[in-house]
Structure 1
Amino acid sequence: MRISIPLLCLGIAYSFSCSQQESPKLNVVLISLDSLCKERLGAYGHRPQYAPEIPVSPNIDDFAAEALLFDNAWSTTSWTLPAHMSLMSGLSDRNHEVELDYFALDPKRRTISQNFQDAGYQTAGFFSGPYLDGKFGFARGFDIWRSAMMTPSELAGQIRSWTKRRALAGKPAPTEEEIKGIRDRVSHWDVTSPKVNQGALDFLASRDSEVPFFLTLHYFDAHYDYLPDTLEKGLGARFDPDYRGNFEGANWYFNPAVREQTPPYGQKISERDLGHILALYDAEIHWVDRHIGTILQALKDQGLWETTIVCIVADHGDEFFEHGGIGHRSTLFPELTAIPLLIHIPNQLKGRRFSELVRIYDIGPTLLDYAGVPPLKEAEGLSLRPVLEGNEKFNRSILQRVPGGPDVRDGWRNEEFSVQRILEIDVPLSQKNRQPSFRQRFTQNGQPMIWVFDCKNDPTEKAPLSRNDPRWQKAMDAFQSSFLLSEKHHRSLPSSAVSEKLTPKRSAEEESMMEQLGYGDSGTEDSSESKGTILPLGPFPTPGI
């Protein structure tokens, strides 16, 4: 049989074209949980102390059976803003530089949402805490970036009522800064998970089914204050049915009955009352888990489960006196920076656990990789895919820092050791460098405030190694090596002028609220107008030098 050359070429061309067609891109759902200690999830072994028959997180636990679960995942810090920016940018806190309230992501940095959008994805995000406001750079790359917090009108009404109560007490009208502070505090008792879910479900119902999507959901309701009965009447009592005390979860961080109000802030709350607070925390986690379950079921009901990557992660945990404190944005110990991480990848690696160390800034590169989307070129984070598929070995460490709390701390950890140190502002060096610069802080006895822990033998990090222990120097040498590599990466990144990295004085929502309260239009001013000259933090001192 004779085949004409033109037809043969056409057949070859058709075959080549078909073989080169890209497989459909996977959808991606990224779920972040604010202030969630991984030890409070059933998937990580938790059962409620006073109601062990009730699973705290049944939906996340079921999800774990269909996902990869990471036992050794870590955040870069112990508070929301920089942790989420690491998640979205693939960069450590030092390199994304969004560590203080008045800095946004440099316009020359990119986020995973921008890469998804550039790849043709529909992108939407629904957030429920003030530190994910679009003014910090989180809205970049999103078709929709919407708050689930109180609307400006609702919040203005709350503030009017508060202002009237102040006036009746003979106090002056609140300043703009006080009003902005109230906005942040309201998030501690606002109820947002239903609004997050409604936004997500509306998006799933209205999206173009022919186009892949990237959906980000941020749940804040487990964050203190611990008020589960404002979420659902009787919810708190389910997790502590025999409690006969009168301690409540309101005003948790600022309650003088919880701890002493002067250093060293000793514990005042009884162990039984503290157990009750933890039960209320469990109840709030249960509430959030229920809403996550609704989203997971919607993906299955809509036939999206086998074409959608789903990642569940926390930004940080919370402390309940494990190291003498409460809350977060303070230290870098495991109760604050060890995070739950679970990833469902369709038809791959279901129900497996990984004990190797992974970092919050590895997550974005991993999601892009599995979705078939180009990587973030400047990211420090590395896709976990080669490791998960057995082509590489885990050998990672993470630098951590929390400069905005009561102490300026930084640290480092790998699978073997962790290091923390406390720094202080170096005024002469700051004046010389014309930016905030730091030096090692020392005890009254002249000892540097540096602690090294053997993570395998001391997982709760309660027994620091002696400086004479050879493991101490081994850890410090590794810390120094990682630190210098990070500084080298920092120098390689393009950087905008400082004025381009400052947040606006008000976000769009803040502007709307302030207008309703009768304040003038000053939203176009940047944050330097009221705070003077503001510069990014300078480099921390090199460890061991």
Structure 2
Amino acid sequence: MSKQQIGFILLTMAMAMACNPVQKKQQASSQPNIIYIMSDDHGYQAVSAYGYGINSTPNIDRIAQEGALFTRATVTNSLCAPSRAVLLTGKHSFVNGKVDNMSPFDWSQDNFPKLLQRAGYQTAMVGKIHMDGLPQGFDYSAVVPGQGDYYNPDFFVNGQKERFHGYVTDITTDLALQWLGERDKDKPFCLLFHQKAPHREWLPAERHYKEYTQLTFPEPETLFDDYKGRGTAAKSAEMNILKDMNWAGDSKIPPSIMDELGIPSTLNWDKNAYENNLGRMDSAQRKAWDAVYDPIVEDFRKRYPSMTKEELMRWRYQRYMQDYLATIAAVDDGVGRLLDYLRAHGLEENTIVVYTSDQGFYLGEHGWFDKRFMYEESLRTPLAIRYPKEIKAGTKIDALVQNLDFAPTFLDYAGVPIPADIQGQSFRQLVSGETTDWRDAIYYTYYEYPSIHMVKRHYGIRTDRYKLIHFYYDIDEWELYDLEQDPKEMLNVYDDPAYKQVRETMHQKLDETRKAYNDSDENDNRFLDAYNKALK
């Protein structure tokens, strides 16, 4: 047989294999499916796998128990939209351009779902993205506008607005499962499953508020923090549960009762939030809500005139925790439904499942709610990942991973080349146990000031033991924390002579890290000018 004949036969066989649907299906099955579950403002303290004991999340815990739990996962910018832009691009805020909630996001830039699409993946985004414009990189999208609504929410389904009846967490789960059922079964898939909850103003589902409003939760040790050990930034932030949380929208005190008791609105949208959120309910939903919340309001109305500030703080903390943790219970229900679906359809073994949040959240620590700071409760985020093919059940990872690392990790699992301009690192080999080599410091930036909660602009680094933060713009203050000796970050030791060498080492590390990521004071000034123009 001649070389030409052999070549023709080989070419014919290759063409047949390429056209063979069974062969194509086998090739697709070698690439893992990816499901990325992200909630909004879910503090790691409120995932029971972390052992804080304030609530139970059995389904999220399943991911950790059957895979890996990350104990020091962090974000690069603790704010909703910037965090999501970092997830998609694998680049810091000052590179992808989404530095705050106000600035536009350029959807035309590359993101990891686009790269997966080009590699043959079917992609979908369901839930909250909090960035304007039709999401790019997805064959299917069903996203809530802005922050979304808890009851009878609107979704933009492939760009077309549609209202759904029911509870947003359940509807988001329904849409995710529906897409999984209708997808092309011959292709690997990537699903971004983003819950609105537990974002403010925390309206739980009926099945959960009936239970959680009857519970009492332990107070954090620092609930009545006076911030004496820190600088201007901590003292001037406006996220104190007693002083800065909305009475109507957040604590669910009706505007009429506020007026009767002489309680002023905290923010100008306080009462409107209450009316708009509850106003979306139908008569049956509102009747069920009032049956539970009216007695709470009536008890408060009677007690309020004689309550001390300390009693008010404790009351507001319990109201906050009851509603916040109840919204998480529905998120956990949705995770359970998803895991059960994967098992029922034989998808468990070849599907990577991630659970995380877009940032951490304060659950009364330092008297606060919200996030934004580089302090631990805001910086750290829950992270669990399950992939039986590579990750041993019960794995614990202490390495300093960031949301910056999701894009390259998913591309790595999919066998897709990681672009050179992605700034994150794949943690695939780290979580499989093939390596322990990892970064020794993470870098953080925050830009949205002056704005709600008034958290100063800052940047900094965190290592295994220490944290160095620079607050700038209208102040110039440095903070240094020894996380081994002071895990609650109560005492800034920047000017302590005993930490002189540590301070110098951390400054050097900060300079090196900023240079490695191509950040500078010039970037800070550029984004400040853009932010000031947007405010005007």
TM-score normalized by the length of structure 2: 0.69
Q: Is the 8 A contact 1:419 1:450 kept in 2?
A: yes
Matched, 1:236 2:223: no
What is aligned with 2:179? 203
1:483 to 504, 514, 517: 514
Matched, 1:252 2:250: yes
- Counterpart Cα distance in 2 of 1:475 and 1:364: 28
Deviation, 1:8, is 8.6
Deviation, 1:91, is 0.8
Deviation, 1:110, is 1.4
Matched, 1:410 2:459: yes
What is aligned with 1:519? none
1:42 to 15, 40, 48: 48
Aligned partner of 1:339: which letter?
T
Greater displacement, 227-236 / 18-27: 18-27
Q: Is the 8 A contact 2:205 2:330 kept in 1?
A: no
Alignment identity in percent? Answer: 23
Rate the CA distance shift 1:154–1:320 in 2: closer, same or farther, 3 A: closer
Q: Is the 8 A contact 2:91 2:423 kept in 1?
A: yes
Matched, 1:461 2:459: no
The residue matched to 2:341 in structure 1 has which SS?
Answer: helix
Matched, 1:473 2:504: yes
Matched, 1:142 2:138: yes
- Counterpart Cα distance in 2 of 1:296 and 1:392: 29
- Counterpart Cα distance in 2 of 1:210 and 1:404: 44
Deviation, 1:155, is 7.9
Aligned partner of 1:386: which letter?
Q
The superposition leaves residues 356-400 of structure 1 with CA deviations (integer Å, 9 ceiling, x where unpaired) of 111111112111111222323311001012333424512242221
| RMSD after superposition | 4.0
The residue matched to 1:309 in structure 2 has which SS?
Answer: strand
Aligned partner of 2:186: which letter?
E
- Counterpart Cα distance in 2 of 1:476 and 1:72: 22
Matched, 1:215 2:202: no
Rate the CA distance shift 1:231–1:92 in 2: closer, same or farther, 3 A: farther
- Counterpart Cα distance in 2 of 1:376 and 1:24: 22
- Counterpart Cα distance in 2 of 1:416 and 1:298: 41
1:390 to 434, 438, 463: 434
1:345 to 372, 387, 410: 387
- Counterpart Cα distance in 2 of 1:293 and 1:227: 21
Which protein has the bigger helix share? 2
Rate the CA distance shift 1:154–1:232 in 2: closer, same or farther, 3 A: closer
| 1:496-535 matched pairs, under 5 angstroms | none
Rate the CA distance shift 1:258–1:378 in 2: closer, same or farther, 3 A: farther
Greater displacement, 283-292 / 456-465: 456-465
What is aligned with 1:335? 377
Greater displacement, 205-214 / 92-101: 92-101
What is aligned with 1:33? 39
Matched, 1:112 2:112: yes
The residue matched to 2:422 in structure 1 has which SS?
Answer: coil
What is aligned with 2:295? none
Aligned partner of 2:109: which letter?
R
What is aligned with 2:228? none
The residue matched to 1:76 in structure 2 has which SS?
Answer: coil
Q: Is the 8 A contact 1:30 1:311 kept in 2?
A: yes
Unaligned runs of 5+ in 2: 155-165, 219-244, 268-308
Deviation, 1:220, is 1.6
What is aligned with 2:70? 70
- Counterpart Cα distance in 2 of 1:270 and 1:102: 31
- Counterpart Cα distance in 2 of 1:101 and 1:453: 28
| 1:277-296 matched pairs, under 5 angstroms | 277-296=320-339
Deviation, 1:466, is 3.6
Rate the CA distance shift 1:352–1:259 in 2: closer, same or farther, 3 A: farther
Aligned partner of 1:387: which letter?
L
- Counterpart Cα distance in 2 of 1:25 and 1:380: 24
What is aligned with 1:171? none
What is aligned with 1:174? none
Q: Is the 8 A contact 2:152 2:167 kept in 1?
A: no
What is aligned with 1:166? none
Aligned partner of 2:439: which letter?
N
Deviation, 1:472, is 1.7
Rate the CA distance shift 1:267–1:12 in 2: closer, same or farther, 3 A: farther
- Counterpart Cα distance in 2 of 1:286 and 1:258: 32
The residue matched to 2:484 in structure 1 has which SS?
Answer: coil
The residue matched to 2:178 in structure 1 has which SS?
Answer: helix
Deviation, 1:75, is 0.8
Q: Is the 8 A contact 1:357 1:396 kept in 2?
A: yes
The superposition leaves residues 502-541 of structure 1 with CA deviations (integer Å, 9 ceiling, x where unpaired) of xxxxxxxxxxxxxxxxxxxxxxxxxx9xx99669xxxxxx
Rate the CA distance shift 1:269–1:396 in 2: closer, same or farther, 3 A: farther
Q: Is the 8 A contact 2:79 2:101 kept in 1?
A: no
- Counterpart Cα distance in 1 of 2:414 and 2:448: 35
- Counterpart Cα distance in 2 of 1:486 and 1:235: 47
The superposition leaves residues 52-92 of structure 1 with CA deviations (integer Å, 9 ceiling, x where unpaired) of xxx52010112211111110100112210101111111011
Deviation, 1:40, is 1.1
- Counterpart Cα distance in 2 of 1:109 and 1:241: 45
Rate the CA distance shift 1:274–1:404 in 2: closer, same or farther, 3 A: same
- Counterpart Cα distance in 2 of 1:489 and 1:110: 24
Aligned partner of 1:341: which letter?
L
- Counterpart Cα distance in 2 of 1:372 and 1:227: 41
Deviation, 1:476, is 1.7
Q: Is the 8 A contact 2:34 2:352 kept in 1?
A: yes
| 1:298-309 matched pairs, under 5 angstroms | 298-309=341-352
The superposition leaves residues 275-302 of structure 1 with CA deviations (integer Å, 9 ceiling, x where unpaired) of 4522432222111111111111111111
Rate the CA distance shift 1:402–1:142 in 2: closer, same or farther, 3 A: same
Q: Is the 8 A contact 1:229 1:236 kept in 2?
A: no
Greater displacement, 371-380 / 31-40: 371-380
- Counterpart Cα distance in 2 of 1:390 and 1:277: 43
Matched, 1:95 2:91: no
The superposition leaves residues 198-224 of structure 1 with CA deviations (integer Å, 9 ceiling, x where unpaired) of 211111111110011111111122122
TM-score normalized by the length of structure 1: 0.68
Rate the CA distance shift 1:271–1:24 in 2: closer, same or farther, 3 A: same
Deviation, 1:311, is 1.0
What is aligned with 1:82? 82
Q: Is the 8 A contact 2:80 2:101 kept in 1?
A: no
